[in-house]
Amino acid sequence: MADGIYVSMCGAVARTEQLDAIADNLANASTPGFKATRPAFEAFLPEGAGPASDKQYPAVVAAGFDLRPGPTQRTDNPLDVVPGDGLFLTVMTQAGTPAYTRDGRMTVDADRRLLLDGRPVLSPDGQPITLPPTGTPRVNGDGTVWVDDQQAGELGLARLQGPLDRVGPALLAPAPGGRAVPAGDERSVRVGEIELGNVPAVESVVQLISAQRSYDASMQAIQTYNQMNQRAVEVVRLK
C-alpha cells in the first residue's frame, strides 16, 4: 500500500506542475508574442523493478514551448512588426546576452535607440540599432530600418532550434543544446501589425479543469491508501 501512496504522490506533483504551466499560459493569453508552455509527462518503473512490475511513477520530465504563431492585430504603427513565419526578433537582455521574441512593438528612446519593451533591438551582427538624430523611422517588409530615405539598420531575425528557456514573458533563449539560426535570405516581417499570445483561452480553461480533477483524484488516492495503512496497523495491534 505504501507503493500506492508514492505513485499517487508522484501523480499529484506532476499535475501541480501542469496546473502551474496552464495558469501561466492563461495569465499571459493577451501578452503579445507569448508562447505557451507544454509540459511533457513520462512514467518510470521503480528502481530495481522488472518489466513485469505493476507500479509506474508519473513525472513531468520537460516543459517545451508551443512556437506556433498567435493571432495578429492590425495597428498601422510603422514600428509594429510581426516576424515572418517561424522567425524571432533579437534583443539584448539586461545581462548583455541575446534573447528572442515575437513581440514586435518597437519604440525609440531619447538616445534614438530602437527598443522592444525597453531592450535594445539587435542587428544581424548583434549590435544595437541606433537611428539618425532626426527623421521619422519606419520598417520595410525585408526587415530593413529606414529614417526618411536613409537606411539606418537591419533587424536581427533568427529561427530557434532545440531546447529553449523562458527569460521573460515573451522572451526565449536557447537552453543547452539549443541554438538560434540567423534568418539569412528568408528575412521578412509584416509591418503595422502585432502578434498576440498563442494561448486559446477556452482550450486552456478546459485543460485547467481536467488537470485539477486529475490532481484531486491523486490526492483522494493518497488519503485512501493512508486510511488503509492505518487500518492495517490497527489490525496488527489487535492481534
* Pair 206, 99 in one domain: no
Q: What's the confidence (pLDDT) of residue 20?
A: 86
* Pair 83, 136 in one domain: yes
What is the tens place of the pLDDT at every residue in 44-98? 555 655 454 556 656 555 568 999 999 999 999 999 999 998 999 999 999 999 9
> Based on the structure, what is the number of domains in the chain?
2
* Pair 184, 220 in one domain: no
Q: Is the pLDDT of residue 164 over 70?
A: yes
Question: 86 or 224, which is more confident?
Answer: 86
* Pair 182, 128 in one domain: yes
Mean per-residue pLDDT for 118-147? 96
Q: Give the whole-angstrom CA distance, residue 37 versus residue 15.
A: 14
**58 neighbors 40 (Cβ within 8 angstroms):** no
* Pair 103, 156 in one domain: yes
What is the tens place of the pLDDT at every residue in 96-107? 999 999 999 999
- Which domain covers residue 58, as residue numbers? 2-67+199-238
Question: 153 or 43, which is more confident?
Answer: 153
What is the rounded average pLDDT for all residues in the chain?
86
Q: Is the pLDDT of residue 147 over 50?
A: yes
Least confident of 6-15, 92-101, 120-129, 145-154: 6-15
Mean per-residue pLDDT for 206-235? 77
* Pair 150, 210 in one domain: no
Q: What's the confidence (pLDDT) of residue 88?
A: 97
Q: What's the confidence (pLDDT) of residue 239?
A: 59
3-state helix, strand, coil in the chain (%, to 5): 30, 35, 35
* Pair 22, 57 in one domain: yes
* Pair 19, 53 in one domain: yes
Least confident of 50-59, 132-141, 213-222, 230-239: 50-59
Least confident of 44-48, 82-86, 146-150, 212-216: 44-48
Mean per-residue pLDDT for 23-44? 83
* Pair 213, 167 in one domain: no
Question: 24 or 46, which is more confident?
Answer: 24
Mean per-residue pLDDT for 135-162? 95
Contacts of residue 222, defined as CB under 8 A and 6 or more positions apart, other chains included, come to: 5, 8, 9, 12
Q: What percent of the chain has pLDDT over 70?
A: 83
Mean per-residue pLDDT for 177-183? 95
* Pair 76, 191 in one domain: yes
* Pair 140, 203 in one domain: no
**What's the sign of the alpha-carbon dihedral 14, 16, 22, 24?**
negative
What pLDDT band is residue 1 in, cutting at 50, 70 and 90?
A: very low
Q: What's the confidence (pLDDT) of residue 107?
A: 97
Q: Which residue has the cell 509540459?
A: 39
* Pair 26, 109 in one domain: no
CB atoms within 10 A of CB 116: 24
